[in-house]
Amino acid sequence: MGGKTNLDRVVAYVPPEWKKELEEWGEEDERSVSWLVAKLIDKALQERREQKKSVISNW
């Protein structure tokens, strides 16, 4: 754990209740908060890309 990575760091400030909920979720799934947030960002970006594709294809 804590090895080198080729990933960039992103910092976000969230309400305490979000952090608590993410920590609980991470414990349930045996994942870190960082991993969960990265997966949520990935999903949001994929959805955004798909949305942009559909807008372009409707032209």
Q: How many CB atoms lie within 10 A of CB 37?
A: 16
pLDDT confidence of residue 10: 95
Residues contacting residue 56 through CB under 8 Å, at least 6 positions apart: none
| Assigned token pair, 35 | 């991993």
* pTM of model > 0.85: no
Give the model confidence (pLDDT) of 16-36 as tens digits.
Answer: 999 999 999 999 999 999 999
Q: Is the dihedral of CA 44, 16, 22, 25 positive or negative?
A: negative
Return the axis-axis angle of helices 33-57 and 16-29, rounded to nearest 10°. Answer: 100
